[in-house]
Amino acid sequence: MFPSGAGNASGGGTRIIRLFSTVVDTVTVTEIESGRANWLTWLAAARAWLFLAILFAVFEIWARFVYHTTFLFNPFNVQSIAVFAVSPLLLALGQTLVIISGGIDLSVGFTMGFAAVVFAHCLNLTAGFLGPAGSFVFGVLVALLASVLPGLINGLLIAKLKVPPFIGTLGMYGVARGIAFLLAGGTTVPVSNNILAILGNGSIFGFPIIVLVTIIIVAVMHFVLSQSRYGQHVYAIGGNRQASLRAGINVARNTIVLYILSAICAAIGGILYTARFSAGAAQAGEPLLLDSIAAVVIGGASLFGGSGTVVGTIIGALIIAVIQYGLVFVNVEPFWQFVAVGVVIVISVLVDQSQRRVAGGKVDEE
């Protein structure tokens, strides 16, 4: 028999050992779960880059085995993909700001068409007395100013009248569509302008001019979103609107500016569309609405607001362009493009929701 003190000491030691083992096991499990969460977060953040790499690899392998040529290292293919990406990327740039702020702009497609028709009419009406250069400059200014109107109305409806972004911009979608078709007379508006032809189909050192113009606009928007105080306010509004109000941010004014910028980006898309096809068309941006939203979501922006980057949107637009051009390249019916883009959108949203759950973010549940 051990003395009672020795027994108590032995029992205490056993409890200490068990407690230590439990703590070690808990720490080990926590570290494993933390590492897994970090890995999943990184994978979700890099999903756009990974998917783009996979697409290039698939089409490159197909080209090598079926056509005995290259897909990725063919300059013509690279130029075509870049040109394919111009229009959806321009619409997506404005859409990026809006989605980061927690909104959405469904009117960009027909705002683009509206601006294209206005631009084409201005070129035709002023070509006789302003000349090619004068009519071009005049047309650009009028088209950009005209696009401010739908953006301003969207912003006022959402910021001042508290109309949900989905409903407000959907209404403007119909209004812009109707006005664009009325101005165009239900058809396209052909134009003839030497400067416009050079802009739409010319190149500098092998780079299409419309791609170079888009790169400049992308750089400006990237600076605005990532380096300016306004960009910080956009993230703050999307992250927590009430906290932004308490911090003294003018949410209403910033929201109005957001939708104006979105409309201007759409107008630039309409101008470049007219330059590329030598005609303004009311339906120019109709099929691009889905692509603009898809580019933003695929690029890593959250439909819940508060996250997203211009760089991510560029990758998203490139993914869409590669899908569209790649399916044509492998001789697949073009209607499968819509199916592919829709599937990619759903997958991106599911990944975003999983990422938010891992990070402890808010996800709507029924």
CATH number at residue 106: 1.10.3470
Residue 183: both structure tokens together: 């101005």
Only one residue has tokens 């400049």, namely 216
pLDDT for the residue 179: 94
CB 199 within 8 A of CB 268: no
Determine, yes or no, domain membership for 116: yes
78 within a domain of the structure (yes/no) = yes
Give me the residue label for tokens 């010319």: 202
What pLDDT digit, counting tens, does each position of 198-213 carry? Answer: 999 999 988 899 999 9
Residue with tokens 């979103």: 225
Q: What is the pLDDT of residues 45-63, one digit of tens each?
A: 677 888 889 999 999 999 9
pLDDT of residue 24: 44
Q: Which stretches of the chain drop beneath a pLDDT of 70?
A: 1-45, 355-366
Q: Where in the sequence is the domain holding 145, given as residue range(s)?
A: 47-350
Instruction: Decide if 241 is inside a domain.
Output: yes
How many domains are contained in the chain? 1
CA distance 217 to 271: 13
Give the start-end residues of each E strand in the chain: 189-190, 203-204, 207-208, 279-280
32, part of any domain: no
Query: Residue 204 gets which letter from DSSP?
Result: E
61/322 Cα distance (integer angstroms): 14
- Measured in whole angstroms, the distance separating CA 278 from the mean position of its chain's CA atoms is 26
Domain presence at residue 308: yes
Model confidence pTM above 0.75: yes
> Do the beta carbons of residue 355 and residue 37 sit within 8 Å?
no
Could you give the 3-state DSSP secondary structure of residue 190?
strand
Domain-embedded: residue 22: no
Q: How far apart, in whole angstroms, are the C-alpha atoms of residue 168 and residue 247?
A: 27
Confirm whether 363 is domain-assigned. Answer: no
Nearest to 273 by CA among 184, 200, 215, 203: 200
Check residue 49 and give its pLDDT: 86
Summarised one tens digit per residue, pLDDT across range 292-348 is 999 998 888 888 888 899 999 999 999 999 998 998 888 888 788 788 888 888 887
Is 2 within a domain?
A: no
3-state secondary structure 39-95: HHHHHHHCHHHHHHHHHHHHHHHHHHHHHCCCCCCCHHHHHHHHHHHHHHHHHHHHH
